[in-house]
Structure 1
């Protein structure tokens, strides 16, 4: 009978069935005790806590009838853990104390382990380490492999909570060697999960995501819930900049836990995870509600460690909601003091929060005291802890009026984050991780505006702009599972599109498509970054020299400080600053313009043209202000913030008749200007299915570019198109574009065999030197992180593409054809993309339909 107990964590379903079978055969007291204990453990960890407590009390009663002190001690330990998880802390600890007293030798060591586990759940880490220290030698002496491995895993987890990563990794390694000799599949899955947590604590986010996904698959095979895993994954997702996903996962886990009547302790921890995620997702009211409930639950469970962390989140959310007060400063300071006494790594974060609130209230002396404590963490620990320290140091310098000190602290802090970002292989994670440096970048810009003049402001504007494009993304591995998943995704997406066109239902196909998207994205997030030296630091002199060499052009970089647009006009050997309008007003006007362009894409909407042109004039005033009068006659490069990516810049009166290009950053424009074209000058023309005009420009272009590779009809498949695009000098793709706001890296171009997505482009060794996308919505992006863009165009730029022509709005397909033919005529004459697009607009008929079509297309980059 006793073999059923280890089976609960080897084959949980089988153990439950066998225990229920034993109870149906009128067993002896000893056997009945074991059976009820097995059912109680199963319900405690995977089901209903009320049923768990009922079975465990019956197990204790049967153990007493069997007159076995060792049996009763073992059941008391299991019952004690269950009571603690149910939030009945005092009764749980009392049961565990009695279990320690009743047991002897080997049994007592197992009870000590479970009390150590209870101490860990409660946040009493020193007590947990003491009990596990006493248990491990006895378990080893008894050659109890399973319980020794459990004890080592627990000790490692406690070390992680206290920030002792190296000690944790040593224990995890020793435990893993023991697990490999057993058949404890659930324990093995738990060990993989714990290794994921250790990887995260050591700063390896991709490895953490991979290990947590592996653990989830193992749990799924066993049919067991994954509430603890959800808590840990939320922590990793938040560090990866995926706070909204973490909030969704935590809330879903809370609903599932409530549905089965699960552990009260886990619910409190999930509420804390949800509160943290909501705070990072800029949802302070949601964070306040979740954190307040977590505080009440933790207090009722007598879990001081956890309650204090929940109070930290609650105070931070209240501050974000604008509820600053002297009382809030005192509360944050008290939390910082308590966390420090508990040995919690989050203590500097609380001190930083106290300092922030004090600064907002003008209490500089109080702020200095708290910030000085927080700043100590800048010298060591994981990257995000050091970032906390450098943020505190920057705020100290700002309060002291030292612009130099602010800039130095911001530089050091962003350097730490740069190193962290380069461990991330996925371009999405690199982009999202920049949000963690947004405050430092803003502080530096403010300091440079006050003390350093336009040049210094330009340098700091560039320091944290479009950084995800500063290094090529890690090439996805030749992973057979990933490749087959992308092929399956393409097939399912094509079938779903065909069904929609035929009016057939598609729910099953859409569910499978979403499943495959999750799998593809998951595998790409597991990629670890490759070593990159960061390239050359941005140099203003080099930029001005290159602008002079490019026909005395000017570069207009728009920085945003305190909600207002600052125009940095670079050219003719100097950088000048002008102040324009409010960013929020410009965003609103840009949306109005987009709506106007959508209407003008339909014949008969010419009456809307004056309205759109008037909106363009208002946009110019908001975005360029007085700088518009100083642009000169040469070409202009516009570097807008990410939130203005949908502005049709050619609509602005001062830019309408000139050579115009748009770049995510001045640095990326410089890199593009200095990128040599590939040898051979190969051209590729692609025509996808379902276009209203049939891609009418492609046959004409095929006649113009003798020897060009033409892919159309059944030849325009994703594998073939990617093969031909790799290293091409010029590519023209006429295909339906689809932008995915919910998953920008699944934005696509429709090919004969399904969608060509951003993840496909990232597999190229070198994307085409120049590429023209003659379809709608190819220049739409998702704004993420501090000032990053994810979409088709931004996927191409780091891979070797120096110039892209793409469209930011729906356009009339028939009007696109003459624009494209005129554009290629200019390229054939040796013009750049920006020059050719300017001339192509001028060559179109002057009616509203064609003018709107020309405005909707933009030249990106520098070719």
Structure 2
């Protein structure tokens, strides 16, 4: 005879199990139903299956199971059982967008339940209030539920209630209260076996870290939560929504958009929660707008607004309307109606206590300014400016941006510059909490408007020296301090090794004509893992880097001239520094210069191969046009000494030696005047070690390396099996001179995976970050090694910029494909100059002059540039 009591207890255990081990709970519930149980036990089993389908599967199936569970509970004549199921059904109905029916189910559940059960119903209704954005009602229901849950010693539901209250506090901007509740909840979770709830707690701590401004910790915790969910075999849509938010704050909008789209597709495929789909659509809209695709943002935000409205989620609908208005403005729309809409959204958000209210007021003020409505603009901007003294960095930057616009509208030049300086200081401190160079670079985009405003005012009312100072203020900031060295993370190191092995196998398979899709998938997975782990690295204490000193620059230049190209309102302005002063000349439109530079790059690619001689005059003519656009009248005032070019990110691929005024002079390129100064003042390491590396697969076999080995005599030569990444890095660390003859690959989609091909696979930018000190001088003799990705406000990511903050004072690299055979004599001549005591720039100038005058050799010489100051 069956033990009915034991069987009943076993069935009731399924409810807590669904959040401890969801898969096991589902299997056992199905087993219970197959046994033909009594109505009470069948009600529990159907409820468990309904919860599983609600949170991880098909919402329509969830509603069927939960309605069946409700009916069976009524047949069993158990009021508490019925109340409990009504609460679970209420949650599912709200997630399905049937808000009125869901709230009605809760009303019946509260009325039917008593004591402990009623407090659980109140907790779940509080959760629904949070989903609906009705935070005051959520806090009230948690307040009523918590004392009873604590009194009966229900640690699991007490921890859930504390976690929910913390999440509501975060939505209202009360980070300290949220952290206190999360901490209390986590202490309780440690006493339970609720693995899914524990994963949710880790996810929630990630959200709290994000709200407090700690992006590395947020990314680490969200990744940890994802690993926990994966072990349980349960997808989670809130995690994707939260990750999208953090990725956007980190400047990774394309990744956020991809995450949102993938999760939306999954929800559509399984018939999942309508509420989560609406939130993901809003996240996708924000990401698309940040990624520069306002039309996609408008489409996604409009659907999100409609869904939120149908779900009676006014808080969420108002936030989605803000995103929709921002996207319309980004698409070029301006109207009085948009001002009114943005103002109405700002007022509503303020009434909700939303931290996004200042952002909406700033938007209303911007549109009003564009329409010339200065009185309206001042009213809205004054409200937005109040956030400049408190809250997380983005909120304070919003406030300082509003203050800067107010000052500009009132004609206060000093006020604009002070607001821009204060706002950029906030971002400087925030940026330095990020350890990964990629995140630091992307974070600068948040300061682009402030930097542009300061430059506009400096151009209109200031001196060339002041414009130079502001051009430098937010340019190449990633290079102002060394990146945080990755910790001795075994998982990161093993990931880099695995990535190298897979990439090498994929390359070998391609060369043999074998299919590589599986290898490429694994390579992409490892890339994501490596990027993710580097994003977890925290930066050092807040530090604004070296203060740029114009007088120090002018003193260090001596007879040289530094030409910094500042872009203001789409036009190039040439700042010529030298002879103790800074002069300004006007260049051409940036868009025309970028188009001309692309034309030149195409010409150099053709000239790298014999038979394209007819292209040479066209390329030279394009060089003259580039000079007119980029140097203007400054070309006649360069003097006869060395020249240093500091281009904006959009022009980093210009082959500067092609310009007639620069062709025969000592020429170097630098991402900023400040980074040139740091390179100029970098001392070479003791010992003077030279390292020569020859990678596999070069057309010439790296023919210059044996001759260079003979010339230097004591140089370390790494080739064949010795040219493996760990050994190469060991010898590069702290070398005085390194010459790497290896195939270069530039990754525009992920610049920190740009690589040099070694015997055991790619040597990537992330590998260089592990050096204590990169070589003082480094020569990269292959194609595309100087190609960089322009990100953030005016940052550049790639091989060259990875080396400069690590102790490298000078780099020679190419910005275009080159002819391997023509590279050999150029490199030999370059080293001859170095052996004679010349700098890299002097040696490269002299090396170009020794080359044959045929188009292939000339194009090869123009493709290479000297970066830095060594």
Q: TM-score, normalised by structure 1?
A: 0.99
> C-alpha separation between the residues in 2 aligned to 1:532 and 1:108?
49
Equivalence for 1:849: 856
2:586 maps to 1:576: no
Query: Partner of 1:730 in structure 2?
Result: 737
State the Cα distance separating 1:758 from its structure 2 match: 0.3
1:610 corresponds to which residue?
Answer: 617
Q: Is the 8 A contact 2:219 2:536 kept in 1?
A: yes
> Which of residues 99, 103, 109 is equivalent to 1:99?
109
Separation in 2 of the partners of 1:158 and 1:531?
Answer: 30
Aligned-partner Cα distance in 2 for 1:343–1:651: 58
Give the gaps of 5 or more residues in structure 1.
none
CA contact (8 A) 1:159 1:165 kept: yes
Please tell me whether residue 222 in structure 1 is matched to residue 232 in structure 2. yes
Q: Is the 8 Å Cα contact of residues 500 and 760 (structure 2) preserved in structure 1?
A: yes
2:868 matched residue in structure 1: 861
| 1:428-450, Cα deviation, whole Å (9 max, x unpaired) | 00000000000000000001111
- The answer (yes or no) to whether the contact 1:186–1:222 under 8 Å persists in 2 is yes
1:366 aligns to what?
A: 376
> How far does residue 267 in structure 1 lie from its aligned partner after superposition?
0.5
Whole-Å Cα distance in 1 between the matches of residues 370 and 332 of structure 2?
Answer: 10
Q: Is 1:588 aligned to residue 598 of structure 2?
A: no
**8 Å CA contact retained: 2:430, 2:542:** no
Secondary structure in structure 1 of the residue aligned to 2:451: helix
Question: Match of 1:694, SS?
Answer: coil
Distance in structure 2 (CA, Å) of the matches to 1:265 and 1:506: 40
**What is aligned with 2:385?**
375
Alignment partners' CA distance in 2, 1:693 and 1:634: 36
Aligned pairs (5 A) from 1:71-470: 71-470=81-480
Output one character per residue of 1:519-546: Cα deviation in whole Å (capped at 9) or x when no partner.
1111000000012633431011111000
- Tell me what 1:788 maps to: 795
Aligned residue in 2 for 1:688: 695
Q: Distance in 2 between matches of 1:446 and 1:803?
A: 33
Deviations 1:36-83 (A, max 9, x none): 111111111111111111111111110110001111110111011111
Q: Distance in 1 between matches of 2:22 and 2:81?
A: 21
- Partner of residue 719 from structure 1, selected from 721, 726, 739: 726
Instruction: Give the counterpart of 1:511 among 521, 524, 527.
Output: 521
Q: How much has 1:417 moved relative to structure 2?
A: 0.2
The match for 2:503 is 493
Asked if 1:703 corresponds to 2:713, the answer is: no
Whole-angstrom distance in 1 between the partners of 2:775 and 2:24: 57
Structure 2: any 5+ residue segments left out of the alignment? 1-10
Alpha-carbon distance, 1:463 to partner: 0.1
* Partner Cα distance (2:36, 2:739) in 1: 79
Q: Which residue, 618, 634, 639 being the options, matches 1:632?
A: 639
Q: Distance in 2 between matches of 1:608 and 1:449?
A: 39
In 2, are the aligned partners of 1:659 and 1:834 still within 8 Å (CA)?
Answer: yes
TM-superposed deviation, 1:225: 1.3
Q: Find 1:69's aligned residue among 79, 82, 91.
A: 79
5 Å matches for 1:621-700?
A: 621-700=628-707
Q: Distance in 1 between the 2:88 and 2:36 partners?
A: 23
Q: How far apart, in 1, do the equivalents of 2:574 and 2:23 lie? A: 65
Which of 29, 35, 42 is the equivalent residue of 1:25? Answer: 35
Aligned to 2:488: 478
Q: Secondary structure at the match of 1:606?
A: coil
Q: Distance in 2 between matches of 1:87 and 1:532?
A: 45
Q: Tell me how far apart the structure 1 counterparts of residues 814 and 626 of structure 2 sit (CA, whole Å).
A: 19
Residues 247-280 of structure 1: CA distance to partner in whole angstroms, max 9, x if unpaired? 1110111000010000110010001101111111
CA deviations 1:808-846 (Å, max 9, x no partner) are 111110000000000000001110000000000001011
Q: Residue in 1 aligned with 2:821? A: 814
1:471–1:532 contact (8 Å) kept in structure 2: no
Task: Report Cα offsets for 1:651-702 as digits up to 9, x if no partner.
Answer: 0000000000000000000011111111111111110011000100000000
Q: What's the Cα RMSD here?
A: 0.7
Q: What SS is found at the alignment partner of 1:653?
A: coil
After TM superposition, the runs of 4+ consecutive aligned structure 1 residues lying more than 4 A away are none
Partner of 2:747, secondary structure, is: coil
1:515-571 deviation line (CA, Å, top 9, x unaligned): 1111111100000001263343101111100011xxx11000000011100000000
Contact 2:429 2:542 (8 Å CA) reproduced: no
1:777 aligned to 773, 779, 784, which one? 784
Please state whether the residue corresponding to 1:766 is helix, strand or coil: coil
Alignment deviations for residues 270-329 of structure 1 (CA, whole Å, 9 cap, x no partner): 011011111111111111001110000000111010000000000111111111100100
Helix, strand or coil: the match of 2:333?
A: coil
Output the CA distance in 1 between the equivalents of 2:131 and 2:46.
Answer: 24
Moved more, 513-522 or 799-808: 513-522
Distance (Å, rounded) in 2 between the aligned partners of 1:266 and 1:720: 50
| Matched positions, count | 860
1:748-807 alpha-carbon deviations (Å, 9 max, x no partner): 001111110000001000000000000001000111000000000000000000000000
Q: 1:23: Cα distance to partner?
A: 1.3
Residues in 2 aligned to 1:212 and 1:743: alpha-carbon distance in whole angstroms: 22
Between the aligned partners of 2:760 and 2:546, the Cα distance in structure 1 is 41
What's 2:7 paired with?
none
